[in-house]
């Protein structure tokens, strides 16, 4: 009798887990479809071990991913500055580090997450808009496609656009 009850309980818990996973997957898909970059949004959230239960948790995951991306870009900029001998390029890269990526990593994106956790979505949206302007300022330092940061800035812009779209849902 005890084995049958244990088996039944196990089956019930497994069913609840599967239903929860399906619900989470559906919510992730519904939310990410409301962003301009569905694939990127879905891949980031699905790859995160902390499965969010609402769009608020999803946007925090995306912003934290943006922080990691910005941190990696800062390291990349530092390495580039050491490698290039063109002083004008070094100055442009230093501008992007000092005026764009360092503020994003140390302050702007962290404040966006804090604002979301406090339920102040308007302030979080302000920080995301501010971050987009920082990335745009970096892009404007380079003419045409001459920026060694264009793909990295593009990914950061996509992450910020996803964040802004999810914030509109909240």
pLDDT in tens, 108-121: 999 999 999 999 99
pLDDT in tens, 79-92: 999 999 999 999 99
Domains of the chain with bracketed CATH: 4-168 (1.20.140.40)
Tell me 163's DSSP state. Answer: H
Core vs surface per residue 97-127: b (16+ CB within 10 A) or e: beebbbbbbeebbebbbebbeeeebeebbbb
Please check the confidence at residue 5 and state whether its pLDDT lies above 80: no
Q: What is the mean pLDDT of residues 14-29?
A: 60
């Amino acid at each position: 009798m005890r084995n049958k009850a244990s088996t039944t309980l196990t089956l019930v818990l497994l069913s609840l887990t599967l239903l929860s996973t399906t619900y989470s997957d559906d919510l992730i898909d519904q939310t990410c479809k409301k962003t301009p970059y569905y694939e990127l949004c879905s891949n980031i959230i699905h790859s995160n071990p902390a499965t969010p239960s609402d769009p608020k948790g999803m946007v925090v995951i995306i912003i934290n991913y943006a922080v990691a991306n910005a941190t990696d870009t800062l390291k990349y900029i530092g390495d580039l500055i050491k490698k290039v001998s063109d002083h004008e390029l070094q100055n442009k890269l230093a501008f992007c580090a000092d005026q764009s990526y360092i503020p994003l990593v140390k302050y702007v994106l962290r404040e966006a997450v804090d604002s979301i956790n406090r339920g102040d979505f308007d302030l979080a949206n302000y920080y995301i808009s501010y971050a987009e302007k920082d990335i745009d300022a970096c892009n404007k330092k380079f003419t045409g496609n001459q920026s060694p940061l264009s793909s990295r800035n593009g990914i950061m812009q996509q992450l910020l656009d996803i964040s802004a779209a999810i914030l509109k849902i909240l």
